[in-house]
Structure 1
Amino acid sequence: MQLNDRNILITGGRRVGAKLAVDLAQRGANIALTYFQSRDTIEAVVDEVEELGVRGLAVQADLRQPADVEALVAQTVEEFGSIDCLINMASTFNASPLDQLAPEDFDDNIASNLKAPYLTSLAAARAMQQNPTVDGLQGKIVNFADWAVFRPYKGFLPYLIAKGGVVTMTTALALELAPTITVNAVAPAMIDPPPHLTPEQIESIRQASPLKRIGVPSDANNLVLYLLEGTDFVTGEVFRVDGGRFLGTDHL
């Protein structure tokens, strides 16, 4: 799929998503970004992509709510004319130690990390199905999962259950939407460590990887670019971007 003049919706857009938005804008794509509370951050990203000569859009939405998702898709289509690609990046990541688990931990993780991309994928897919078919395709969806659904670590049970659901959703939805919409997923480990981590925690994560590296945004984003513009022959796949952490080391 050629990305020039395509319309791409990214849920979330801070940190790794912000860099992806710029990468896509540099290829001529118009970018819509969602936010729940981080309005200033997302609007700054929109300003950055618009400086590249494409159109940008920031939309406030609670993606756990069907009405908000439908309004998001409708507003994006009204502004851009269509949705050609959806990148589901919005997520929450909170520890839930087993001895402290409460029912709402499960409910909150399922809502934010599985229900939200599910609702957004369905709404965006219905919009894509109104697109003309070009080279056999009407659109593409890329979900973000987590490498640890394949090799879980402790303390994040509800989160990992929800992200495991994203993996299943990806394969099932790929079958449902074939042959005109592809659906794939990226399952990263630590990419661009969040600011609350200490240097000691970051070093521990580095040592847990056989490659002894921390991921950078391009490690994940280049894969997304490949799935969008590099191939039209991949669907239903989940790609780990984890520095080899799935393989394990003596440090785990």
Structure 2
Amino acid sequence: MAEKKLAGQSALVTGASSGIGEGVALALGEAGANVIVNYNSNPDSANAVVEKIKAFGSKAIAIQADVSKEESVQSMFKQTIKEFGTIDILVNNAGLQKDAKFDEMTLAQWQTVIDINLTGQFLCAREAIREFLRRGPVPERSLATGKIICMSSVHELIPWAGHVNYASSKGAIKMLMQSLAQEYGDRKIRVNSICPGAIQTPINRAAWETPQALNSLMTLIPYNRIGQPSDIGRLAVFLASDDSDYITGTSIFIDGGMTVFEGFATGG
């Protein structure tokens, strides 16, 4: 049985009905946190995640919200605080891709990605910090007043042709995270980013669903395996727990070595 490092704490995970968000929500619940499973358009999947978390002995509810909409985010936080009294952990995970060649990219494709991936993190982080400041520290529950984990990507570092909107959003998340860590560190609010590489989720199915695609992907990953949502979940538990209390303002890459640029292993 997993150690209940987050017992008595409440966590909100955005975009938690599938993929990385689901993996994080399950890991936090298994570690003892009460979990709000945010979703936008798939209540059945969100409720299935809720039931899995309850099986660990933790409380969980699903809340619909569009993270790009201020009123929707504020309503979600009101429901969260009504249900669990406060929030201790925010995992800003919701994100998407709208890929196109840059010269063919529409304003709608650009704006949708920025609205969800970046503005959504701003809106959720702002509400979380407001609640952390209102509540203040609770040392018997956590050394930190509050924890925010931003889901970034290896593409906050690695440029990505054909995905300029996505890579731009992730580069901006790095500065959002670091600026918040700088601004609120003296209030014991910790803010960090997880930067996944290739993770086996529906968003990148084309990259792994055939042997040929998977073999091609492995040329980018020195560790020679694709990541799983549970890999991200375990890191999120660490960053949300007191084990990482002296870590803030940091991007942690979890990518099987993708950021060492394996293509240069035999040349350059």
- Do these two structures clear the TM 0.5 threshold for a shared fold by scoring above it? yes
1:235-246 matched pairs, under 5 angstroms: 235-246=248-259
**What is residue 189 of structure 2 aligned with on the other side?**
181
CA contact (8 A) 2:5 2:32 kept: no
**What letter matches 1:58 in structure 2?**
A
Q: How many residues align?
A: 252
**What letter matches 1:246 in structure 2?**
T
Shift of 1:156: 0.2
Quick one: which of 130, 142, 151 aligns to 2:134? 130
Secondary structure of residue in 2 paired with 1:250: helix
1:1-32 Cα shifts (integer Å, max 9, x gaps): 94101000000111222222222222221000
**What is residue 148 of structure 2 aligned with on the other side?**
141
1:220-239 Cα shifts (integer Å, max 9, x gaps): 22221111112211100001
Please report the TM-score for the alignment, with normalisation by the length of structure 2: 0.89
CA contact (8 A) 1:207 1:251 kept: no
**Cα distance change of structure 1 residues 153 and 82 upon mapping to structure 2, 3 Å threshold:** same
Does the alignment pair 1:191 with 2:199? yes
In structure 1, what is the Cα distance between the partners aligned to 2:130 and 2:38?
19
Aligned alpha-carbon RMSD (Å) = 1.8
CA contact (8 A) 1:174 1:184 kept: yes
**What is residue 52 of structure 1 aligned with on the other side?**
56
Q: Which moved more, 1:64-73 or 1:95-104?
A: 95-104
CA contact (8 A) 1:208 1:251 kept: no
**What is residue 108 of structure 2 aligned with on the other side?**
104
Quick one: which of 185, 194, 216 aligns to 2:228? 216
Please report the TM-score for the alignment, with normalisation by the length of structure 1: 0.94
CA contact (8 A) 1:148 1:246 kept: no
Q: Which runs of 5+ in 1 are unaligned?
A: none
CA contact (8 A) 2:110 2:165 kept: yes
Give the ranges of 4+ consecutive aligned residues of structure 1 lying more than 6 Å apart after TM superposition: none
**What is residue 33 of structure 1 aligned with on the other side?**
37
Shift of 1:165: 0.8
Q: Which moved more, 1:214-223 or 1:55-64?
A: 214-223
Does the alignment pair 1:225 with 2:232? no
Does the alignment pair 1:201 with 2:204? no
CA contact (8 A) 2:14 2:94 kept: yes
Shift of 1:250: 2.7
Secondary structure of residue in 1 paired with 2:32: coil
Identical counterparts, % of pairs: 29
Shift of 1:137: 2.2
In structure 1, what is the Cα distance between the partners aligned to 2:76 and 2:254?
29
